Every structure is written in structure tokens, then in C-alpha cells.
Structure 1
Amino acid sequence: MTTDVETETSAHGARLVVVHPDAGVLAEAVASRLLTRILDIQSVRTPVHVVLTGGTVGIRSLAAVAAHPVRDAVDWTGVHFWWGDERFLPAGDPERNETQAREALLDHLPALPAQNVHVMAAPGEGVGSPEESAALYADELSRFTPDGATHLAFDVLLLGMGPDGHVASLFPGNAGLAAQGATTGVHDSPKPPPERVSLTFSAIQAAQEVWVVAAGAEKAPAVASALAGDPVETTPAAGAIGTRRTLWLVDLAASSTSS
């Protein structure tokens, strides 16, 4: 059974915590929710900008989108995909979020234009450091940012969360937490590989909707900490807030200390 744990409204918009019985149901529910949201937006405007995440449940959710009976109701020519972070590894590396997302979903969308998939540059693709890749991504984002706006207001920004409370590649105590601009290079990640590229809190918090997806008992303390509003220095997920709505989509195990 799926339950809504709490709804809270603040200056940052509404926050809703939705608890699903297990990780499998969670992934299917995220897929259905994402497709429905894209279709709702496309009924009034285009394009739609969606930020993808990696991680076990994140990729499982993308695979569920690919297999969903509603998938082909979406006009994929009007959807742009971005990433919240990327491992600074060679193109095609199986550990890259891009590689996993292509295998799970993007390669199954023949109508999706190649230019609608905005990847973070890998080593050897004209960049030699995470900072150079981050700068190129910031330039790409600026191409789609309306005049007068600081950041592109993503329609849906998906984020996984680690047991330490990190989101994207913003880790507790890491210098990237205080990065300015839309993107940042990340070094000394406590989770391999050490070099990464990430959106900043500034870019994340400009999204209309931020969805944090988490499953497993090992995530429960971080979920509780983030929902309690603990400092982002210790629990970065606490800073994952959308301007219109913030969704915490979790399984029962991950919610065990937050309800």
C-alpha cells in the first residue's frame, strides 16, 4: 500500500513524502508519475526539461519508463534530458550515469532527437578536468535559460540519495556544497570515482519540482535528517528543494525513522 506521510507548504512550495511498500513498487510508481507529469506539461506547452539521476532505483525507474504502456503517448521530440551529476570517466564507461540511462531508457526512444540529450563531457571530449566539463555544461544550460533568469527552471529534477545524505555529487563536507554558478567540478568524492561533475544547489533549487528517490533501510537515517531540515553540510539532501514542489519518493524501509 502506498501512503502520503506528510504535506508541508513553505516559501519554497509544497513538500510531500510518499511511501511505497518496496523498491520495486517505488521504481514503477516513479515511472508512472514521471510520464504523467510530462504529459500534463505537454498538454499546455513544450519543451519539457527533465533531469535524470543514476543509482540503483533511479536506473530501475528509467527502465520502468521504457517498459511502460504510456511511454509512446509522450512526444519525445519535445523532451530534453539533463543530468544532475556525472562521474568523470571516459565516454561509454559502464559506471557513467549517461551510459546506464541510455541502456535503460534513452536507447528505447527512437523519436528522441540526439540534440535533446544533454550529457556532461567526458575526459578526452575536449576537456581535461571536471572543472572544464562543468564549464561546458553551464554553457549548455545557459542556451536554454530564459532571458533575465539565473538558471534553467527544470520541470522535474530527479535525485537519488546516498546513505550519507548526498545528492547529485554534493557530499557532506565537500567543497562542492558551497560552489557558485550552475555546475561544479568535484574532487575527493568519498564514493568512487573521486572526480565528478555536478549541478550546484543553486541550479537544483531553481527546478520547479525536485523528486528525491530513496530505497533501503540504510537510507532511513539520512531521509529523517533531511526531512528534519538538518544542515546541508552534514545532510546535503536537506537542500534538495523545488520552487513549486518537493517530492520525497521512498520505500517503507527508507521511511522507517522519518514517519
Structure 2
Amino acid sequence: MIDRNLYASPVQASQALITHILEAMDEEPERPFTIALSGGTTPATLFEVWEREYAAYTPWFRIYFYWVDERCVPPDDELSNFGLANRLLLSKIEIPSSHYYRIVGEGVPEEETKQYSSIVKTTVPTVDGVPVFDFVLLGIGEDGHTSSIFPDRQDLLTVGEPYGVSVNPYNKTVRICMTGFPLIEARHTCFLVTGENKCSILKEILDKNKEEVYPASYIWHHARNPQLYASLVS
């Protein structure tokens, strides 16, 4: 199943994705949901819309948040993905700290990768050793990267552990990122893509002939339930 949804604005794309999450939770009201969040400007809109328009309708006590990737910085750094989510969403809603698991960006990357992989494997349901999140929320970079898996690190798409260490090839910053199998095996692998500058790369990613070219296209074409929420306007 592949859903490709285009919207008139980033706010509308965010509204549609949040509605999808809440409807899925309504269909299975007896169990908790695991959601892995990304960082960046597009998720910022998602967090703001969620807190402003849907906070009262969201059963926060049934949600456990994780992170797809994190820059190796402290949580109060402006580049921290956790910090972004905390400022715009977590600190403004009624959710206990036991319901979210941040990646410790200020830790030693290799050690935190092992630690976070262990946390995920023991708190997220697994199938054949692979953690299966209910929702994994992803973005797409103009170079076709996703989850901090850049084009020069396609090996991270097929490694055994759920998280690995990545280096941004453009500014050499170190990141911790979710690897290929959890991205592919999620019950819902959702790409939230906004901005006119993403038109060209998104067209290539959706092209079946380019599925092995970019990390994002590999995930899109191999995920068991990929979904696109896009607003390609400035």
C-alpha cells in the first residue's frame, strides 16, 4: 500500500498526518502507540500544529515518543532534535517524561548508539529482532537523505542494529540515526515533505527506477506501508 497525498500548505500536510495518527489510535483503543520523531523545519510545523489544534484530542498517555535521529549536541542546543520537540510540543502538553526516550546527543556517539538501540529493542515490539514502530515520521533532504542516512552511507540501510553513527558529509557534524530495517518495517512509514525546493528530489525518489540511488528512495520503495504527506509550495 502506497499513499501519496499532496496539500496546499505545510499546515494542511501536518493536519492530515496528525489526523491519520489519531484515527489509527482510535481503531485500536486498547494499546499504546510508539512514534519516532524527526527534527528540522518541517517537523517544527507539525509540532506547533499538534499542540495548537490537537492537544485536547490526543490520548498522550497512550503514546511513547522516540527519535529517528539526533545531532550529537546537548538537548538545550538549538540544533537538538529533542530540544525542538520539547520546546514546541512536549513541554506544552500533559505527557510524563517516562513516555519519551530521547537520544543522548551529548554522550559518546558509539556508546549512545548501543544504549539507545538496547532501549528501543526492549521497549518497542520486535519481529525477528527488528523493532516495529507504529509510526516513523521522516523528512527528505535535497540530496535524498533521510534519517541522517546520507548518500555516502547507504551501508546503514542494511546493518543489523536499529541505530548507527552517521556523519553529515557537508559540515562533518556527527549524528545518531535509525537504520534501514526499523524504517522499513514500521507499521506506518510517513514522509512529511514541504517546500518548493523538494520538488525535484521528491520526483526522483518516487521513481521506481531510482529506488537504489538515494537512501530516501530505498526506504520509500522497500517500506511495507509508505505514506507521503507533501506540500511543495514556498
Q: TM-score, with normalisation over the residues of structure 1?
A: 0.81
Contact 1:186 1:197 in 2 (8 A): yes
- The separation in 2 between residues aligned to 1:177 and 1:207, in whole angstroms, is 14
Q: 1:216 aligns with which of 179, 195, 198?
A: 195
- The separation in 2 between residues aligned to 1:192 and 1:20, in whole angstroms, is 32
- The separation in 2 between residues aligned to 1:73 and 1:23, in whole angstroms, is 21
1:36 aligned onto 2:23: yes
Corresponding residue for residue 102 of structure 1: 86
Contact 1:170 1:198 in 2 (8 A): yes
Corresponding residue for residue 83 of structure 1: 67
Corresponding residue for residue 207 of structure 1: 186
Name the SS for the 1:205 alignment partner: helix
1:72 aligned onto 2:56: yes
Name the SS for the 1:119 alignment partner: coil
Q: 1:195 aligns with which of 144, 153, 174?
A: 174
Report deviation, 1:180.
3.0
Report deviation, 1:221.
1.8
Name the SS for the 2:76 alignment partner: coil
Q: How does 1:44-63 map to 2 (within 5 A)?
A: 45-63=30-48
CA 1:145–1:56 in structure 2 vs 1: closer, same or farther (change >3 Å)? closer
Unaligned runs of 5+ in 1: 1-13, 255-259
Corresponding residue for residue 180 of structure 1: 160
Q: 1:25 aligns with which of 12, 15, 31?
A: 12
Report deviation, 1:149.
3.3
Report deviation, 1:253.
4.1
Corresponding residue for residue 113 of structure 1: 96
Corresponding residue for residue 122 of structure 2: 143
Report deviation, 1:150.
1.2
Q: Give identity over the alignment, percent.
A: 21
Contact 2:34 2:124 in 1 (8 A): no
- The separation in 1 between residues aligned to 2:85 and 2:189, in whole angstroms, is 19
Q: TM-score, with normalisation over the residues of structure 2?
A: 0.89
The residue type paired with residue 87 of structure 1 is R
Name the SS for the 1:173 alignment partner: helix
Contact 1:145 1:151 in 2 (8 A): no
- The separation in 2 between residues aligned to 1:140 and 1:211, in whole angstroms, is 22
Contact 1:60 1:104 in 2 (8 A): no
CA 1:178–1:20 in structure 2 vs 1: closer, same or farther (change >3 Å)? same
Residues 164-222 of structure 1, C-alpha deviation per residue, up to 9 Å, x if partnerless?
111110011225345331110112x1354620000001111120100001112221121
Report deviation, 1:15.
0.5
Of 212-221 and 94-103, deviating more is 212-221
- The separation in 1 between residues aligned to 2:90 and 2:126, in whole angstroms, is 30
Number of residue equivalences: 231
Choose between structure 1 and 2: higher helix proportion. Answer: 2
The residue type paired with residue 26 of structure 1 is A
Contact 1:39 1:74 in 2 (8 A): no
Unaligned runs of 5+ in 2: none
Contact 1:179 1:200 in 2 (8 A): yes
